[in-house]
Amino acid sequence: MRADFVIIGSGSAGSAMAHRLSEDGKHKVIVLEYGGTDIGPLIQMPGALSYPMSMSRYDWGFKSEPEPGLGGRRLATPRGKVIGGSSSINGMVYVRGHARDFDHWAEAGAAGWSFADVLPYFKRMEHWHAGGHGGDPDWRGKDGPLHVTRGRRDNPLFKTFVEAGKQAGFETTDDYNGQKQEGFGPMEQTVWKGRRWSAANAYLKPALKRDNLELVRCFARKVVIENGRAVGVEIERGGKIETVFADREVIVSASAINSPKLLMLSGIGPSAHLKQHGIDVVADRPGVGQNLQDHLELYIQQACTQPITLFKHWNLLGKALVGAQWLFFKTGPGASNQFESAAFVRSRAGVEYPDIQYHFLPIAVRYDGQAAAEGHGFQAHVGPMRSKSRGSVTLNSADPGEAPKIFFNYMSDPQDWADFRHCIRLTREIFAQPAFDPYRGKEILPGETVQSDDALDAHIRDHAESAYHPCGTCRMGQADDPMAVVDPHCKVIGVEGLRVADSSVFPRITNGNLNAPSIMVGEKASDHILGKPALAPENGEPWISPLWDESDR
């Protein structure tokens, strides 16, 4: 098996590159994917999002090491093991990130990745459907492969949350993916005609109709490197080990967990660590697997005094009816991820742009899908966006079949604790606004007795959960930066013919969910790989609060 380009992973970035690299018909492209089909209601029905994430059929099943900052808990670290990768098991929330996030990337050495540089790629990938409901059409894409929509916000609680934010003195925004991220407003989703619009549905499946693109189901063991050049990928399928040859380039898009693992198994990484596992060093890159970042979040739950929440469907008959309505008509509660209102706010004066994110949900439900015993309720997921804590992905052994060691080092920076306590108190302030008077019952979680710093810290330690946004483990930077893994064209520094393009190349985590910026990386990397000039920068000036230096609102 040979191709011009061999892509490892069919996830958010991998699918986008498969589509773009095969588009003009001139190059043969092979995509390697270990996971199976995404056909089936549990993946395609947005309302069923809590299921695929915890199914071994669709998820690699990684767990973190015991996290000292979280009382030694080991946190689930789901990564998609299916066509479409994590875009097939994620929460379908669509957030580009703040303009300043990308400006920071450029300042950190990722030249050509400032907001002006990436905005045209966000536009190229999007087909935005919220026009007519406000928003910033000039900042949005009209005919890309990725459909971006908004939930219907039929439940009155969605509007109540936004109104409460306003009453608390915060901004509102019509379009957090437009000029103004800051504020309370509608949330966007990668859902189209009631179905999950994953990278597989948007990019990969249409492209697979081309003769020059092939999907190979296999397990990628390592990149084959000869005389300092990547020449192919060693794979395992049907019990046999073979090599898929790349005449031009190998592109690793296997996630912030599996991409650094593959590089290290291939001899690219911190030399002492590789030698410890008996791996010959091809390129000593100490940054491989370092700089691991994620978002942590808590949900603040409140009982609802009116029977209007999604809890009314939370029984066998209700779920059956929702499922049937979705199966036959692609409508009803199953046609949305139910994250239909959002907010991005600043934690304190002197923070230039938002560093707290809210997802609002009109039901009180745990991450594992268990409804709160109180019945009707609502909740806000909240967490700080720019923690300084950094972790790592390292090898457990030189056996490709063994999961890597994932250590997030959550809550290791003292500021994390102050930020999280502020998130809880701020959410209580928002839920206490007059807008919620008709609905507000007792506080379910953390509970009204949990007030002191120590009590809040104990709650955070026991209940904070990953938002499943790992990134940063193959950081992009200048070629002379010892901790950078790839240069600004996504080329692995020190090896020819090899690139990494996925969320692992983020120098720093972006504001919000990571699917949109991961796809953008795949879109922009495609132009670099094909040697095309990058799209012309666009100078849109983001809205920054005139009061940012003196107030949080």
Detail the residues annotated as belonging to a binding site for FAD.
Answer: 4-33
Q: Which two tokens stand for residue 338?
A: 């139910």
- Exactly one of 313, 376, 459, 469 is catalytic; name it: 469
Q: Which two tokens stand for residue 127?
A: 């087909």
Task: Tell me the torsion sign for CA atoms 507, 83, 27, 496.
Answer: positive
| 328: region left, alpha or beta (phi > 0 left; psi from -120 to 50 alpha) | alpha
Query: CA-CA distance, 533 to 484, in Å (whole number)?
Result: 23
Residue showing tokens 């990953």: 466
267 closest CA partner among 310, 221, 307 = 221
Q: CB 535: neighbour CB atoms within 10 A?
A: 16
Helices (H), 168-215: 199, 205-207
Query: CA-CA distance, 278 to 7, in Å (whole number)?
Result: 26
| Strands, E assignment, 227-372 | 229-237, 240-252, 268-269, 283-284, 296-304, 341-345, 356-361
| Strands, E assignment, 162-227 | 183-186, 188-189, 191-192, 195-196, 213-217, 219-226
Query: CA-CA distance, 187 to 151, in Å (whole number)?
Result: 8
Q: Which two tokens stand for residue 322?
A: 């929702």
Q: CB 63: neighbour CB atoms within 10 A?
A: 13
Q: Which two tokens stand for residue 10?
A: 């069919």
Q: Is 528 a catalytic residue?
A: no
* Residues designated catalytic: 469
